[in-house]
């Protein structure tokens, strides 16, 4: 009787494992429409405002923007930060940043403030700013890397001296209605909260100083708020089936020659060279090559080789956008076998582990000075890598599209996947299935026999 029970338990644990897997898939495969991102639940941009000294009519503060998001960076043309003053404050001077609009300073004589607007908008200065206008962490054109890629360049600071403001921690008022564009919409900022004053270590690490007063603002991103159409799609292929499953048609938009003439450029267009040369600078609206998917970015996942203990995938990212060199790009991929990645070639890799129990998500990005720049659509326009996975005998299969990714993000945006029923099949999938069922039956039988003998 004992061996029956043990087999029942084994079968039951297999079944419950499959159910668990299905549950995990179904609850992690939704596309996020709210500020909550399942793969980076705590991801946020924090704005920290440190008052460093009081002045006769206000204070001097250092404002630092931290990008705490694991895989969403802030790319050119960079962040812009806005707020509304609580009273009639003005900005006398700024270092390491500037207000985009001075506003009406006509009530001032002699010393003219940097900005008199009730709701100023501040941007970073550009690289190459004279030293006397710089402070630490400034002047990167508003570009911040993602936290996982490089925490040392994920923060940006500017200093401002505020007038017509409170001059003690009792009379000063925190600004309201913070807004962050990074670039374009997508971020929502909470209220400023007074927090414990920041502490600073001197360069020789022998003395700690602290801010007179500190407040924090937390901003979170939502792809829904950004109201962007998708920016990337996924195509699939495998060594065991000649079919290449392309990106879904119209994944990022449709070619319409009536409503939006010139919404894309044909690869063999005689105007290609002139269009491309006119779009010499990075611009926020993509100019894409005409494809059935119309996406600026395509990620191709090719199941390349099957070894006894391992299997190998080739990942190719192609840029169809003539207007953008994607610097410091990153990819997030979810596949159950990322818990046993053996080797990755030509990309950096870090395991993302939002829930302690599931270890199936990886962040990949380019190697500095080698392929961290994904060039515009011509002439090169792609980067590639190969990934070697170790097979886990209990889950590994080429059946039912298991070898393909569950979800892909490019630069933090969810990529459009082909429908699961279009995934490349194993040749004669049904007969294979029968074989594997037979195999399970046979092994259970032999187990029975063994138990019976014992
Ligand atoms: C923002 O991110 C930081 C770093 O991950 C985290 O410590 C903090 O709790 C987050 N803030 C919020 C409000 O989620
Ligand atoms: C303001 O400063 C006083 C000491 O001058 C301190 O006791 C108090 O905690 C400070 N309040 C805030 C909100 O920082
Ligand atoms: C700040 O935001 C609140 C809520 O969004 C709004 O009611 C208020 O008018 C805004 N204040 C200013 C000064 O813009
Ligand atoms: C305020 O922001 C700083 C810098 O990100 C962080 O170290 C600190 O924990 C934050 N404080 C609160 C209460 O969120
Ligand atoms: C462009 O317009 C022509 C004629 O109106 C039409 O036949 C063709 O299908 C259109 N192409 C696309 C991609 O919509
Ligand atoms: C991309 O980089 C190449 C080489 O540095 C440059 O020639 C091209 O103008 C850049 N394209 C854009 C859109 O910035
Ligand atoms: C997740 O998998 C990676 C790659 O195998 C490994 O380096 C990491 O330690 C794993 N993390 C956990 C929590 O198991
Ligand atoms: C990775 O594979 C090895 C060998 O098959 C196995 O012992 C180990 O438990 C696996 N690790 C994970 C996290 O599944
Ligand atoms: C390859 O996969 C496709 C589904 O994408 C399927 O229609 C086709 O029959 C498969 N080819 C073979 C040889 O099994
Ligand atoms: C695959 O199935 C077809 C019919 O379903 C059959 O004719 C063919 O011989 C099978 N091929 C293999 C390799 O089993």
CA of 403 to the centre of ligand 8 (A): 17
- pLDDT for 257-309, tens place per residue? 555 555 788 777 766 666 666 654 545 677 888 889 999 999 999 999 999 99
Same domain, 244 and 283: yes
Residues 6+ apart with CB under 8 A from 52: 59, 60, 61, 62, 159, 211, 212
CA of 351 to the centre of ligand 7 (A): 6
Which residue's C-alpha comes closest to atom 6 of ligand 6?
Answer: 280
Structure-model confidence comparison of residues 11 and 332, the more confident one: 332
Same domain, 55 and 149: yes
Give the pLDDT score at 139: 95
Residues 6+ apart with CB under 8 A from 31: 223, 414
Atom of ligand 8 nearest to the CA of 391: 5
- If 0-12 CB within 10 Å is exposed, 13-18 middle and 19+ buried, where does residue 133 land? middle
Over 50: is that where the pLDDT of 432 sits? no
Residues 6+ apart with CB under 8 A from 391: 309, 310, 311, 337, 340
Atom of ligand 10 nearest to the CA of 428: 1
Measured between alpha carbons, how far is 424 from 345 in angstroms, rounded to an integer?
Answer: 25
Contact 68 CB / ligand 1 (< 6 Å): yes
CA of 229 to the centre of ligand 5 (A): 22
- pLDDT for 56-82, tens place per residue? 999 999 999 999 999 999 988 899 999
Over 70: is that where the pLDDT of 375 sits? yes
CA of 39 to the centre of ligand 7 (A): 15
- Which domain-ending residue is among 225, 257, 288? 225
Give the pLDDT score at 119: 97
Contact in structure between 154 and 75 (CB atoms under 8 Å): no
- Which domain-ending residue is among 179, 204, 225? 225
Contact in structure between 91 and 61 (CB atoms under 8 Å): no
Contact in structure between 33 and 223 (CB atoms under 8 Å): yes
Same domain, 289 and 317: yes
Contact 269 CB / ligand 5 (< 6 Å): no
Confidence of residue 2 (pLDDT cuts 50, 70, 90): very low
CA of 218 to the centre of ligand 1 (A): 8
The domain in which residue 155 lies consists of 45-225
Same domain, 261 and 409: yes
Contact 434 CB / ligand 10 (< 6 Å): no
CA of 47 to the centre of ligand 4 (A): 9
CA of 214 to the centre of ligand 4 (A): 9
Structure-model confidence comparison of residues 285 and 444, the more confident one: 285
- If 0-12 CB within 10 Å is exposed, 13-18 middle and 19+ buried, where does residue 212 land? middle
Structure-model confidence comparison of residues 174 and 273, the more confident one: 174
Q: Which of 148, 185, 157 is nearest to 73 (CA)?
A: 148
CA of 42 to the centre of ligand 1 (A): 5
Domain count of the chain?
A: 2
Give the pLDDT score at 323: 84
Contact in structure between 82 and 67 (CB atoms under 8 Å): no
Same domain, 69 and 103: yes
- pLDDT for 199-220, tens place per residue? 999 989 999 999 999 999 999 9
Over 60: is that where the pLDDT of 156 sits? yes
Same domain, 246 and 336: yes
**For position 399, which CATH number holds?**
2.60.40.290
Phi, psi of 393 (to 5 degrees): -55, -30
In a domain, 16, yes or no: no
Contact 342 CB / ligand 7 (< 6 Å): no
Same domain, 148 and 204: yes
Radius of gyration of the chain from its Cα atoms, rounded to whole angstroms: 27
Contact 402 CB / ligand 1 (< 6 Å): no
Over 60: is that where the pLDDT of 349 sits? yes
Same domain, 169 and 266: no
Contact 386 CB / ligand 8 (< 6 Å): no
Ligand nearest to the backbone CA of 68: 1
Structure-model confidence comparison of residues 172 and 425, the more confident one: 172
- pLDDT for 387-430, tens place per residue? 999 998 888 988 888 999 999 999 999 999 999 888 888 776 45
Same domain, 219 and 70: yes
Ligand nearest to the backbone CA of 213: 2
- Count other Cβ atoms within 10 Å, centred on residue 191: 13
Write the secondary structure of the chain as one string of H (helix), E (strand) and C (coil): CHHHHHHHHHHHHHHHHHHHHHHHHHHHCCCCCCCCCCCCCCCCEEEEEEEEEEECCEEEEEEEEEECCCCCCECCCCCEEEEECCCCCEEEEEECEEECCCCCCCCCCCCCCCECCCCCEEEECCCCCCHHHCCCCCCCCCCECCCCCCHHHCEEEEEEEEECCCCCCCCCCCCEEEEEECCCCCEEECCCEEECCCEEECCCCCCEEECCEEEEEEEEECHHHHCCCCCEEEEEEECCEEEEECCCCCCCCCCCCCCCCCCEECCCCCCHHHHHHHCCCCCCCCCEECCCCCCCEEEEEEEEEECCCEEEEEEEEEECECCCCEECCEEEEECHHHHHEEEECCEEEEEECCCCCCCCEEEEEECCCCCCEECCCCCCCEEEEEEEEECCCCCCCCHHHCCCCCEEEECCEECECCCHHHCCCCCCHHHHHHHHHHHHHHHHHHHHHHHHHC
Ligand nearest to the backbone CA of 179: 3
Contact in structure between 157 and 137 (CB atoms under 8 Å): yes
Contact 227 CB / ligand 1 (< 6 Å): no
Which residue's C-alpha comes closest to atom 7 of ligand 7?
Answer: 351
In a domain, 365, yes or no: yes
In a domain, 28, yes or no: no
In a domain, 436, yes or no: no
In a domain, 383, yes or no: yes
Which residue's C-alpha comes closest to atom 13 of ligand 8?
Answer: 339
In a domain, 449, yes or no: no
In a domain, 9, yes or no: no
Which residue's C-alpha comes closest to atom 9 of ligand 10?
Answer: 428
Measured between alpha carbons, how far is 447 from 452 in angstroms, rounded to an integer?
Answer: 8
Give the pLDDT score at 322: 86
Cα 24-186-419 angle, rounded to 5 deg: 40
Give the pLDDT score at 289: 87
Over 50: is that where the pLDDT of 109 sits? yes
Contact in structure between 245 and 422 (CB atoms under 8 Å): yes
Over 90: is that where the pLDDT of 83 sits? yes
Q: Is the pTM of this model over 0.95?
A: no
13-27, 42-56, 175-189, 338-352: range with lowest mean pLDDT = 13-27
Same domain, 51 and 192: yes
Structure-model confidence comparison of residues 169 and 260, the more confident one: 169
In a domain, 114, yes or no: yes
Structure-model confidence comparison of residues 77 and 436, the more confident one: 77
Task: Tell me what percent of the residues of the chain surpass a pLDDT of 70.
Answer: 81
Average pLDDT, the chain: 83
Ligand nearest to the backbone CA of 350: 7
Contact in structure between 100 and 66 (CB atoms under 8 Å): no
- Which domain-ending residue is among 201, 225, 249? 225
Same domain, 190 and 265: no
CA of 431 to the centre of ligand 10 (A): 8
Same domain, 181 and 259: no
Q: Which residue has the tokens 């890598």?
A: 385
Confidence of residue 39 (pLDDT cuts 50, 70, 90): confident
């Amino acid at each position: 009787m004992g061996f029956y029970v043990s087999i029942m338990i084994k079968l039951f644990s297999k079944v419950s494992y499959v159910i668990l897997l299905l549950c995990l898939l179904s609850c992690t495969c939704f596309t996020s429409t709210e500020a909550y991102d399942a793969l980076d639940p705590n991801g946020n941009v924090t704005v920290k405002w440190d008052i460093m000294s009081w002045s006769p009519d206000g204070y001097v503060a250092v404002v630092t923007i931290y990008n705490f998001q694991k895989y969403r960076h802030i790319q050119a043309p960079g962040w812009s930060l806005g707020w509304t003053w609580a009273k009639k404050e003005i900005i006398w001077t700024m270092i390491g940043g500037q207000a985009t609009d001075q506003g009406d300073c006509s009530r001032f004589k002699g010393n003219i403030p940097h900005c008199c607007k009730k709701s100023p908008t501040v941007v970073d200065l550009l690289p190459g700013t004279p030293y006397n206008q710089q402070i630490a962490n400034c002047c990167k054109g508003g570009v911040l890397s993602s936290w996982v890629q490089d925490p040392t360049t994920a923060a940006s600071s500017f200093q401002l001296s505020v007038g017509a403001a409170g001059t003690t921690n009792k009379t000063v008022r925190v600004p309201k209605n913070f807004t962050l564009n990074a670039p374009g919409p997508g971020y929502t900022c909470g209220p400023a909260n007074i927090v414990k004053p920041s502490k600073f270590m001197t360069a020789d690490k022998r003395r700690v100083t602290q801010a007179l007063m500190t407040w924090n603002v937390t901003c979170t991103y939502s792809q829904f708020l950004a109201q962007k159409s998708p920016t990337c799609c996924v195509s699939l292929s495998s060594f065991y089936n000649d079919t290449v499953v392309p990106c879904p048609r119209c994944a990022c938009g449709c070619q319409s020659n009536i409503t939006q003439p010139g919404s894309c450029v044909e690869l063999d267009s005689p105007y290609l060279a002139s269009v491309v040369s006119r779009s010499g600078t990075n611009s926020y609206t993509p100019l894409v090559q005409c494809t059935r998917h119309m996406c600026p970015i395509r990620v191709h996942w090719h199941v390349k080789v099957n070894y006894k203990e391992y299997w190998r995938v080739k990942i190719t990212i192609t840029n169809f956008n003539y207007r953008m060199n994607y610097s410091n790009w990153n990819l997030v991929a979810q596949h159950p076998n990322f818990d046993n990645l053996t080797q990755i070639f030509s990309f950096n890799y870090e395991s993302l582990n939002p829930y302690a129990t599931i270890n199936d998500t990886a962040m990949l990005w380019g190697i500095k000075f080698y392929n961290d720049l994904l060039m515009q659509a011509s002439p090169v326009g792609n980067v590639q890598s190969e990934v070697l996975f170790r097979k886990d005998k209990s889950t590994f299969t080429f059946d039912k599209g298991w070898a393909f990714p569950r979800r892909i993000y490019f630069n933090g945006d969810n990529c459009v996947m082909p429908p699961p029923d279009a995934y490349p099949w194993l040749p004669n999938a049904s007969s294979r299935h029968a074989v594997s069922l037979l195999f399970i039956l046979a092994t259970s039988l032999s187990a029975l026999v063994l138990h019976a003998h014992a």
